[in-house]
Amino acid sequence: MNHPSRALALSLILAAPVAANPQGVSAAAPRTHLGAKPAQTFVGEAHTPGKLEIKLVHGMDARLVADRLVAPDARMEAVENLLQSFGAKRSRLWQQDDESLVAYRLEAEARSQKPLHDLTQFFLVELPEDRSVAEACDALNALPGVELAYPVGTGGDPIWTAPIAGMPPAAGGGTPDFENLQGYRRGAPLGIDADYGNTFSGGWGQMVTIADCETGWTDDHEDISHAAEGMYVGFPATFYPWNHGTAVVGELVGERNGEGVLGMCHAAGIRLSTHRGNPANFAAAIQSGVSAVGVGDAVVIEIQCSGGPPGPYPCEYVPSVYAVVETATAAGINVFAAAGNGDVNLDAAAYDGRFDRSVRDSGAVMVGASNGSSLNKASFSNYGSRVDLQGWGTTVTTAGYGDLQGGPEVVEYTDTFAGTSSATPIVTGAGMILASIYESAYDVTLDPLDLRAALTATGTPQGSGGPIGPRPNLRAAIPFLNLPRIDLEGPLTIGSDYSVVHHGEPGDLQLIIFSPRTPDTPHFHSIFGNLFLDRPITRVLTSVLDATGQATYTATIPNDPALVGMTLGYFQGYQRFQTMTGVGTFTNFVTITVQ
C-alpha cells in the first residue's frame, strides 16, 4: 500500500496488507481449497457430455507431449495409464504456453506472498461416447497424483430477459442522446455517481483497460467501435452480431459524443475474450482476458455456470476458474464477476464452502443484482456473504438489442438490459473510475483487495432480500481513499457567498484555478493529469494545505437577478505532492451555476 494517509482506514478492513517478496513462497505451502474429492461423482443434465477436467497435485510438473501426459513424478504413470485405458483425449486448457503461465504465477506469488495453484497442472479430458464421465472421475480421484477430477458443467451469459425490437432511428436524424435514461450513472442512492467520478483527472477511465469475457459482441456498434472493434484476444472471434457483450461494453465505454449512451469509464481500453459458446473454454477465455491486461486493469466475467449444486452460480465454483481468478487478483488485476441469476443462497452447504470467505477468497468482486434502481435484491439474483456489491438488475439503458432503438445491429439500443449481466458492468465502472483516478494521482495502482474494500466500505447499503452487498458510491469512496478533491460549500444564489475547498495532504502545495469555460476534451498533462478548464485560466488561490489538509477560496455572487440560471464558470484544483508517491495531480472540477 503506497498511500500513507489511507493505510489506517484500510487496515481496519483488510486482515493483512499485500507484501512484496521477490523470493516468492514455498512450493510446499498449502494452496487454497479447490473442492473435496467426492465419494461418488454426480453427473447430470447440467453437465457437458463426455468431458471432464483434472487438476494434478502441485509439484507434479506434468506436461502434454505428443498427446500424452508426462512428468518427472512416479505418480504420473498411474494417471496416464488410466487415461489410456479410457481411450481419452488429453488437452491443455490454456492458450498461453506453460513457461509463461509458470512465470506469471511466480510473479503473482512474489507480489502477494500467497501460494497459488499451478495453472499448468489443469487438463481437459474428452472421453469416447461409451465411457462414463462419473466413473472416469471416480477412478481418477482414487489416484494420489490427482488433486481433483470433475465433470465440465454448462452455463452462459447471465441475462434475465430478452428485449423485443423497437423503432429504428428517424431517417437522417441519427441516434438521440439516451444519457438521461442512464439513472445508474447518477448520484447515490440511485446510482454510483459516475457523473461525479468523471470530473476527476483520470475519471474517464483513461488509465485502465478492461477485458470482457463472455460469448460475443457486435464490436463495430456505433457506440463501442472506438474502443472495441477488432480487440479480440484468445480464441478467434465468433457469434457476430451478439447483443449481450455489446450491452455490457456499452455500459462501460459508450462513446462520449452526445449520441446513444455514455459509458461510465468511457475512455478505458477494451479487450474481448470469447469462450465461443463452449463451457469447456470458460476458464481459458478468462485466462486469455487476464493475459491481455496488466496490473491495475480489470477482467469482467459475464458468465454463469451450472452443474451439480443448485444453479446457475458464479463460475469460480469451478476449480480451474477459481485458480485463474485467484492468480489474477494476486497479480494485481481486478476481477469483477457476475453472481448469477439462480436466486440461490451461495452460503448453502451444497457449495462445499467454495463461496465461504473463511475457507477461500479469490479476491474477485462478486456482483449481485438489485431490482432496477431499487436497492432491494432482484428476485432472480444469487445472494450470500460472498456477494460484495450490487448494481441495477433491470431497466438498464445501453447499446444493443433494439427495444429502445431498432434498425441495423450497429445502431440498436435498449432500456431493458437486465440480470447480474447488467449489474456487473455498473460495479466494474465504479471500480475502474476509482482505480483510474488513483493511478492518475499517484502513478501507482490500487491493489484489488484495497479497491474492493473501498467500494464496499463506502457503498449505499442494500434494502430488502438476501445479501447482495451495497451499491458503489464514488462520492463517498473518493474521500475514503483521501484522493485530492475540491468541494463546493454554501448556496449558489445571487448575493450569497460560496466557498471552494481543496482537500488533500497537509503541507502540499495547492492551487485553486478558475475558467469561464471547459474544453470538449480535457487538456492532458503527462505528469499531472487532466485539466478540465479552458483558457483563459485564472489562479485564484495559491497556498499550502494546512494541518487539516484544506485550503479555502471564498467568493460572492453579485446580487443581480439576471444571473439566475447562468453558469459563471468552473473551478479546478491542482496539488503538488511533497511527501507522497507521485508528483501531483489535478483534482475534480466544479461548476458555478446560479440557482
Strand 122-126 relative to strand 584-593, pairing: unpaired
Question: What is the pTM (predicted TM-score) of this model?
Answer: 0.94
- Asked if the model's pLDDT at residue 73 lies above 50, the reply is yes
**CA 112/CA 19 separation, integer angstroms:** 6
For 277-295, write each residue's pLDDT tens digit: 999 999 999 999 999 999 9
**CA 301/CA 211 separation, integer angstroms:** 9
**CA 453/CA 9 separation, integer angstroms:** 10
Q: Is the alpha carbon torsion for 383, 388, 392, 396 positive or negative?
A: negative
- Domain 179-480 in this protein, CATH class: alpha beta
CATH topology of domain 47-153: Alpha-Beta Plaits (3.30.70)
pLDDT, position 20? 37
CA angle 216, 219, 223 (to 5 degrees): 125
- Asked if the model's pLDDT at residue 156 lies above 90, the reply is no
For 412-454, write each residue's pLDDT tens digit: 999 999 999 999 999 999 999 999 999 999 999 999 999 999 9
Start-end of CATH 3.40.50.200 domains in the chain: 179-480
Judged by average pLDDT, the poorest of 160-174, 193-207, 377-391, 527-541 is 160-174
**CA 305/CA 300 separation, integer angstroms:** 15
- Residue in the block written with cell 494517509: 5
The residue among 16 and 30 whose pLDDT is bigger is 30
How far lies 277's CA from each of 484, 486, 540, in Å?
45, 47, 58
- Asked if the model's pLDDT at residue 565 lies above 70, the reply is yes
3-class DSSP state for residue 163? coil
Q: Is the alpha carbon torsion for 88, 94, 95, 101 positive or negative?
A: negative
- Asked if the model's pLDDT at residue 4 lies above 70, the reply is no
Q: Is the alpha carbon torsion for 547, 551, 556, 562 positive or negative?
A: negative
- Asked if the model's pLDDT at residue 324 lies above 50, the reply is yes
Mean residue pLDDT across the chain: 93
pLDDT, position 556? 97
pLDDT, position 167? 65
- Asked if the model's pLDDT at residue 14 lies above 80, the reply is no
CATH topology of domain 485-593: Immunoglobulin-like (2.60.40)
Start-end of CATH 3.30.70 domains in the chain: 47-153
Closest CA to 447 of 269, 295, 265, 579: 295
pLDDT, position 162? 53
Return the number of other C-beta atoms located less than 10 Å from residue 454's C-beta. Answer: 26
**CA 504/CA 543 separation, integer angstroms:** 12
Region 138-144: what's the mean pLDDT? 98
Report the residue count for the chain. Answer: 595
DSSP conformation letters of 177-220: B-GGG-GGGSSTTTS--HHHHTTSTTTTSTT-EEEEEES---TT
**CA 226/CA 203 separation, integer angstroms:** 18
pLDDT, position 581? 82
- Confidence class for position 296, pLDDT limits 50, 70, 90: very high
- Confidence class for position 7, pLDDT limits 50, 70, 90: very low
Region 305-318: what's the mean pLDDT? 95
Region 508-518: what's the mean pLDDT? 97
- Amino acid letter, 88: A
Strand 389-392 relative to strand 365-370, pairing: parallel
3-class DSSP state for residue 67? coil
How far lies 73's CA from each of 36, 77, 79, 117, 283, in Å?
23, 8, 11, 18, 26
Cis omega (within 30 of 0) for bond into 312: yes
**CA 164/CA 405 separation, integer angstroms:** 10
- Asked if the model's pLDDT at residue 40 lies above 60, the reply is yes
Start-end of CATH 2.60.40 domains in the chain: 485-593
Closest CA to 250 of 166, 175, 304: 175
